[in-house]
């Protein structure tokens, strides 16, 4: 067993709230800056980093499940990794599309001048 059931509550809070906090802290500036076309590399790379962390956490949960760990060991990493991936992967493509629209708007404004 990787950790006890009493440690499960602390680990669950850290993983689930940590993943949610990282997502919302990232999403707010990403939505604002992508519409303005600013900080493209920072936003897209940070999305890939957060997605990679979510994938690693999901893999840890899957390894725990496959090795026969109890529910309180495998559930938190699996759930937080899965939720993180289902939020961050679609957001990458959405934010990339927003940057493309901002660049096209900037080009059309330049053409009008």
Q: Mind listing the pLDDT tens digit for each residue in 67-83? A: 999 988 888 889 889 98
Judged against a pLDDT cut of 80, whether residue 1 lies above it is answered with no
In a domain, 20, yes or no: no
CA 68 to chain centre: 27
In sequence order, the 6+-apart residues with CB closer than 8 A to the CB of 80 are 15, 16, 18, 19, 54, 57, 61
pLDDT band at 106; cut points 50, 70, 90: confident
In a domain, 45, yes or no: yes
In a domain, 107, yes or no: yes
Q: How many domains does the chain have?
A: 1
What burial letters (b/e) apply to 58-72, b meaning 16+ CB within 10 Å? Answer: bebbeebeeeebeeb
Domain range enclosing 74: 35-112
Higher-confidence position of 41 and 110: 41
In a domain, 28, yes or no: no
Judged against a pLDDT cut of 80, whether residue 47 lies above it is answered with yes
Global pTM reads 0.82
The pLDDT of 17-38, averaged and rounded, is 88
Higher-confidence position of 18 and 56: 56
pLDDT (tens digit, 9 = 90+) per residue, 90-101? 999 999 999 999
Quote the pLDDT of residue 10.
83
In a domain, 1, yes or no: no
């Amino acid at each position: 067993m990787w950790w006890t059931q009493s440690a499960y509550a602390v680990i669950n809070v850290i993983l689930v709230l940590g993943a949610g906090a990282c997502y919302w802290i990232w999403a707010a500036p990403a939505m604002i800056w992508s519409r303005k076309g600013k900080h493209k590399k920072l936003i897209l790379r940070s999305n890939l980093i957060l997605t990679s962390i979510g994938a690693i956490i999901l893999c840890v949960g899957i390894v725990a499940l496959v090795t026969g760990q109890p529910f309180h060991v495998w559930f938190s990493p699996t759930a937080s990794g899965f939720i993180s991936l289902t939020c961050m992967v679609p957001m990458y493509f959405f934010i990339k599309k927003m940057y493309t629209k901002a660049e096209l708007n900037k080009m059309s404004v330049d053409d009008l001048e």
